[in-house]
Amino acid sequence: MANEAPVCILTAQAAKALSSVQKAMTAKGLTLVVFDCYRPARAVADMGRWTREGGRPDPQWYPTAERGDLIAKGYIGEFSSHSRGSTVDLAIAEPGNKSAVHPACGAPDGDTLDFGSGFDCFDPKSETASALIDAEATANRKTLLIAMRAAGFRNYAREWWHFTLAKEPFPKQRFDFPVNAN
């Protein structure tokens, strides 16, 4: 049995489009930081089961919502677009910058620019057009949004980091193959 691997798997079309975004970022002295790409349907189902188990808000990940409400509020999908291979969660960073802001809510973002909330922070301040963040974070979100739109991606308005290729090749398909290191 092969080990699962932390790799980004995307459809050829999404990978090509994302490559064009990276080239545009490089020209500006920036780089993309990718958090999540393809996610097997079985992992999505596991997240759904976990959500339905319920629980209190968690200050690290979902500070203002009960766990059992995460699907209804649109933070976790019963059928994630990640299982189609043309969705990516990402941010922008300055290469070599070790003084990045790490917001309290969400996964550690490595060395990303300040986006006002962390990746996977299930909270209203993570909405792309949130008025709950400062001007710098708003500008960084706008930079990411413009670059991704120019490459043919559309943003999920509840999550500043979540983008799906507008003309994805498998819009109705869900894949469930494991991600292996081999």
Helix, strand, or coil (residue 35):
strand
Name residue 34's beta-bridge partners.
Answer: 90
Distance CA 47, CA 118 (A): 19
Catalytic positions are 159
Work out the number of other CB atoms within 10 angstroms of the CB of residue 134: 9
| Cβ pair 128, 141 in contact under 8 A | yes
Q: Which residues contact 164 (CB under 8 A, 6 or more apart)?
A: 81, 84, 86, 87, 88, 153, 154, 156
Distances (CA, A) of 72 to 87, 109, 135, 155, 177: 21, 26, 30, 19, 27
